[in-house]
Amino acid sequence: MAYSEKVIDHYTHPRNVGTLDKSSTKVGTGLVGAPECGDVMRLQIEVDENHMITDAKFKTFGCGSAIASSSLATEWLKGKSIDDAMKIDNMDIVEELALPPVKIHCSVLAEDAIKAAINDYRVKNGLEALESAKSHH
């Protein structure tokens, strides 16, 4: 199976790898997946007082497509409001990275991670959690 050029690009030069201070009230953390399933994503966002995402970081245990999906997600998150970020759909990621059907779960996991990070931030800041992740592969 050959990878798309965009997957290879994100995999070879992953954007925004790293860790934010998860104890900060400005930071939302989403940790999704499971080691026994072969993929775990941790996605973090830093949000300002206007609910705009100023920074995003990830670390992923998984295949090339999972790494690329989370790298792309961090790129898309920066500069978005948390409400707009909530609208990112896994199929947008599938399309952008040209993921084959067998790798669609990687994009679902990235969407889950985005939503989990936003909800973590919301709960920390006294907002209610929104629609939970759509999940499951």
Partner 1 sequence: MNLPIYLDNNSTTPMDPRVLDAMLPYFNTKFGNAASRNHAFGWAAEEGVDYAREQVAKLIGANEKEIIFTSGATESDNLAIKGVFEMYKDKGNHIITCVTEHKAVIDACKHVEKLGGEVTYLGVKSDGLIDLAELEAAMTEKTILVAIMYGNNEIGVIQPIREISAIAHKHGALFMTDAVQAVGKIPVDVNADGIDLMAFTGHKMYGPKGIGALYVRRKNPRVKVTAQMDGGGHERGMRSGTLNVPGIVGLGKAAEICRLEMDEEAKRLSKLRDKLQVELTVLEESYVNGNTDHRLPHVANISFKYVEGEGLMMAMKDLAVSSGSACTSASLEPSYVLKSLGLSDDLAHSSIRFGLGRFTTDEEVDFAIKQTLKAVNHLRDLSPLWEMFKEGIDLDKIEWAEH
Query: Interface residues with partner 1 (CB under 8 A)?
Result: 3, 11, 14, 17, 19, 31-42, 59-64, 66-67, 102, 105, 109, 112, 133, 135-137
Q: Is 63 a catalytic residue?
A: no
Q: For partner 1, which is the closer residue by CB, 17 or 86? A: 17
Q: For partner 1, which is the closer residue by CB, 48 or 75? A: 75
Pick the catalytic residue from 37, 91, 127, 129.
37
DSSP 13-77: S-SSBS---TTSTTEEEEEEEEGGGTEEEEEEEEE-TTSBEEEEEEEEES-HHHHHHHHHHHHHH
Pick the catalytic residue from 67, 106, 108, 118.
106
Q: For partner 1, which is the closer residue by CB, 80 or 105? A: 105
* Enzyme catalytic residues: 37, 106
